[in-house]
Chains A and B, each alone.
Chain A
Amino acid sequence: MNGSDRVQRDVPPRRVTAGLVWVLAVCGAYVVAYSAALVGLARASADRLPLVRRLLELLRLVS
């Protein structure tokens, strides 16, 4: 038996809002932290990886 029919549909709105706020907070923090970390990693490996170097140069040109 598949579980979709077991999901309770009459969920209290406050709980749903609280859940959504939590999801947005964690995902938002991740997007900021992970993007910063990826840029840092790209910079660190730019001398080894020509493609990354070109991408960083392109980003510099755009900004």
Chain B
Amino acid sequence: MVAILSALCLVLLGTALGRRLLRLARFRIESAALRLSFAAGLGLGVVSLAVMAIGLYGRLGSSSVHIGFLVVAALLVPDLIMMTFGAVRSVRSAWPLSFGWFEWFLVTAIALSVLSGLISSIAPPTSWDATVTHLKVPHEYLETGRIVRLDDLHSNGPMNGVMLFIPAMMLGGDTAPAVLHLSLLVLAGVALYGFARQHVGRTGSLLTAAIYFLMPIGAILGSEALVDFHLVFYLLLAVVGLVHGWQEDRTGWSILGAVCLGIALGSKYNALYALLPLCVGLGVRTWQGVGHRQRLLTEGAGVLLLAIVIGCPWYVRNVVLTGNPFYPIFARSIPTRHLSAGLTGESPVWRPPRSYPWDALNVLLYPVNHTLGFSWGVAEGPRPDGAQNSPGPLYLALVPLLLIMRPVPGWALVAVGVAALAFGQTVSTFPMFRHLMPFIVPCAAVSGRAFEWLDGRRWVRITARCTVVIVLLLQMVPFVGRTATRSGVVFGAESRAEYLRRTDDVYPMAEFAATRLGPEAKLFYVGERIYHFRALGLNATMGMPIRQGRVDFPAISSPAQLHDRLRRLGYTHVAVNNEILSRQFPPALDLIGPLVELDKLVEIEQIKELVLYEIAPLD
């Protein structure tokens, strides 16, 4: 409950702040849904940038900063009250709702998906990304009271989303970030509905929202402490702002879109894919706008510059730390000083083997695979997680109808163009769907429009609606499954420790090590999901994680050298997941195995796949 309240407080105060800023700029947004989502986006963006500034200044734990935040929150209370009255007025003016059975089904399905996400998000964190970086980074920043250099590959990207997790964790513990992430999923859904409602009827807009809220991947990612829906939210706002700016010729919209794009650029590297659609869109507009070319170019360059200025602090920080603004990517092309335990500067970047021209088949395979949930590419076989990482079939079933629809609306072409250009940049690597999700989500509005186009004659309407109902019911299965597996711990039938012991691969070993090892122990975890070790109070380092192993392990030529380095760095114990290492990075085992045989690493305990060793002193 504390987690829900703290995330809610943060979102409401962020929205109130955004509302105040929009009023100060005298910028009026007609649509209530877009007004709410832009206010929330702007306010939360300002909060994340403020937390970053305070963190860089080293005052995260300062009581004067906390008092300052409380004063700002108190000043925003009148906005909060006005906002609540406004929301009640909007609902009352829309009441009574004259919905048919199909609309009621869509609304119920959306409400159930959000409720399911809320229940799932309060469960203790177990997801890979959350325990590797999104909870570990704020935990370490809060421990030190400042944004510090973290010597692992995962903790140095753009982190506006993670900045919001810092106040969330301070107020509501380590489940609050997941609730906050879910709130951003919901806000993105509100923005998508508002965007669709401006171009599509009510049924089509509700279907747009349902396609988005019921994506099977939303069930998996939405209730975790991640930043995927943070990116979805801000890129969606950027698309909406820029489309409005270009359609209505209002500079305010373009500025708002640029600000949101900037916050997205500072949240995750994937947002960089948005720069190509922006430049192409700018080029097309300039080419079309005879007589206004200079103004369009100036405005477009302004949008680009503003977005880059807002998004750049994390990239500047990477330049200062490593010389490479996009660390750890592009390490081959840009001279990079690697942040790693070995600090070697060696970076043999591993890349999956490619076999052109066959990889070009991914253009066809990708949408089919991810729609049907196989996650099967040219370079890799079927993956069991493919089914859960699916966007659902209604994008591919409805968006291509654009080819036979007349007239084709301009905004739909923009939405499809953004998706196609982002897809074109990544298709050769056959990325996970979540990497492209932010660019494909606006296409849900195109699906809503295509459905309305189809929804004319009675027999077609009945067939199409029944098909949609069957598909959406099937898409609810992962939501139900996830809620069922987590409801025990959420409703108190199971304790946090019991739940984590049952479901998490790392927690049992972390719990054992925390009780067994003394306060002087320094643990070296050859794995990535380090959060539970640190949350339980161990002095643990993700010094040579599996992926980072590709950077670090080649720098160590013999088992003796590894033993020497571990001891000189002050480590007393090592925890290793031998099974994962044998699958993902066998060279690490070639170094660790001989040390075990020579009794330089003495096994203490094996729990699940993890083995805890004590490091023998140097001879």
Contacts and interface: CB of A to CB of B under 8 A. Distances in A.
Interface of A: 1-9, 11, 13, 15-20, 22-24, 26-27, 29-31, 33-35, 37-38, 40-42, 44, 48-49, 51-52
24 contacts: A1-B198, A3-B409, A3-B449, A3-B452, A4-B200, A4-B202, A4-B203, A6-B199, A7-B201, A7-B453, A8-B407, A16-B456, A19-B450, A19-B454, A20-B454, A29-B393, A30-B373, A30-B392, A30-B393, A31-B470, A34-B216, A34-B390, A42-B481, A51-B485
A3 to B, nearest CB: 4
A7 B201 CA distance: 9
Contacts of A16: 454, 456-457, 460
Nearest to B388: A41
Nearest to A29: B372
B451 to A, nearest CB: 9
B123 to A, nearest CB: 13
Contact of B387 (A27, A38, A52): A38
Interface in B469-493: 470-471, 474, 477-478, 481, 484-485
A37 B456 contact: no
B467 A27 contact: yes
Nearest to A7: B452
Nearest to A13: B457
A4 B199 CA distance: 7
A54 to B, nearest CB: 11
B272 interface: no
* Chain B: number of interface residues, binned into ranges: 35 or more
Nearest to A30: B393
Residue among B400, B454, B478 with the highest chain A CB neighbour number at 10 A: B454
Contacts of B503: 48
Nearest to A20: B460
Interface of B: 197-204, 216, 371-374, 384, 386-388, 390, 392-394, 396-398, 400-401, 404, 406-407, 409, 449-450, 452-454, 456-457, 460, 463-464, 467-468, 470-471, 474, 477-478, 481, 484-485, 502-503
Contacts of A40: 384, 387
A24 B463 contact: yes
A15 B406 CA distance: 10
Given A11-B453, A29-B393, 17 more contacts: A1-B198, A2-B201, A2-B202, A3-B198, A3-B200, A3-B201, A5-B201, A15-B404, A16-B456, A23-B397, A23-B401, A27-B397, A30-B372, A31-B470, A31-B471, A31-B474, A34-B216
A6 B405 CA distance: 12
Interface of A is mostly: helix
Most chain B beta-carbon neighbours within 10 Å: one of A2, A5, A34: A34
Contacts, number: 119
A53 B390 CA distance: 24
Which 6 pairs between the two chains have the least Cβ-Cβ distance? A4-B201, A37-B387, A30-B393, A26-B397, A3-B199, A33-B372
A7 B460 CA distance: 16
Given A16-B457, A18-B404, A26-B396, A34 B387 contact: yes
Contact of A23 (B406, B407, B467): B467
A13 B454 CA distance: 10
B77 to A, nearest CB: 34
A36 B262 CA distance: 42
Contacts of B386: 37
B271 to A, nearest CB: 28
Nearest to A42: B481
Nearest to B395: A26
A9 B201 CA distance: 13
B98 to A, nearest CB: 13
Contacts of A42: 481
Given A3-B199, A49-B485, A30 B463 contact: no
A52 B199 CA distance: 43
A35 B558 CA distance: 49
Given A33-B374, A38-B477, A8 B406 contact: yes
Contacts of B400: 22
Contact of A51 (B203, B394, B484): B484
A15 B402 CA distance: 11
A12 to B, nearest CB: 9
A3 B481 CA distance: 36
